[in-house]
Amino acid sequence: MQPIIIIGAGGFGREVYALLEDINRTAPTWNVLGFADDRSEALDSFEHYPSLLCPVEQLPVADCRHYVCAVGDPTARRAIVKRLADRGLVWPTLIHPTAAVGPGSALGVGSILCRNSVVTVDATLGNYVHLNLAATVGHDAKVGDFCTLSCQVDICGAAVVGNGVFLGSHASVLPRAKIGDGARVGAGSVVLRTVREGATVFGVPALRTRTSGGDS
């Protein structure tokens, strides 16, 4: 089995550990050496996970080429990957055995598809994209690099999601709607039309919040 280290020992990092174990039960693939995290206390309350090996800055670890960045916030995830860009790390895309990817769809490197997530047909996912539990990307949709789709997010057909977008749980993006880079969509929101770059939107329909830097 291939050694792998999980970057980020928070809640999503622990979920990714469970995902790797589920993959191994289907086809033994990954030997999880442990976690890398700048917070030395990140796993102090937990006993049933591999060790926290080192801070992120000390990567790579000898004899380990494969790494997965399990940091949910898109901005933080991008910063970590950028810090490590010249260190020769390999970023596999991890797909849970219950996830589905349809014909004609393309997945970038370093992405994570969690339990029951679905990418239907002719869709495109960028690099380092997270699809949490039961998130769905419809036909012909495009999702940019470093996006986070929280649990049960629904990206409908031909929608376009820019880079570094965060979508909260149960958010929906209707067909052909567009979301600009760095936008944030609140949990349960429904995006009907264009969301501008950097905007924060919430509600049904999703509208710009007062603290947002852009318009929906």
Q: What is the pLDDT of residues 181-209, one digit of tens each?
A: 999 999 999 999 999 999 999 999 999 98
What's the pLDDT score for residue 198? 98
Quote the CA–CA distance of 74 and 52 in Å, as a whole number.
22
Query: Quick one: 192 and 103 in the same domain?
Result: yes
Q: How far is CA 191 from CA 124, 176, 199, 205, in A?
A: 19, 10, 12, 6
Q: Which domain holds residue 149?
A: 94-204
Q: What is the pTM of this model?
A: 0.94
Query: Quick one: 73 and 135 in the same domain?
Result: no
The token duo for 183 is 């936008």
Query: Quick one: 123 and 146 in the same domain?
Result: yes
The answer to whether 157 touches 172, Cβ cutoff 8 Å, is no
What's the pLDDT score for residue 211? 57
Q: Could you give the number of structural domains in the chain? A: 2
CATH number (domain holding residue 40) = 3.40.50.20
| Residue 216 located in a structural domain | no
Q: What is the pLDDT of residues 76-117, one digit of tens each?
A: 999 999 999 999 999 999 999 999 999 999 999 999 999 999
Domain boundary among 83, 118, 149: 83
Query: Quick one: 9 and 59 in the same domain?
Result: yes
Domain boundary among 83, 102, 135: 83
The alpha carbon of 121 is separated from its chain's Cα centroid by a whole number of angstroms, namely: 19
Looking at the DSSP assignment, which residues form a beta bridge with residue 42? Answer: none
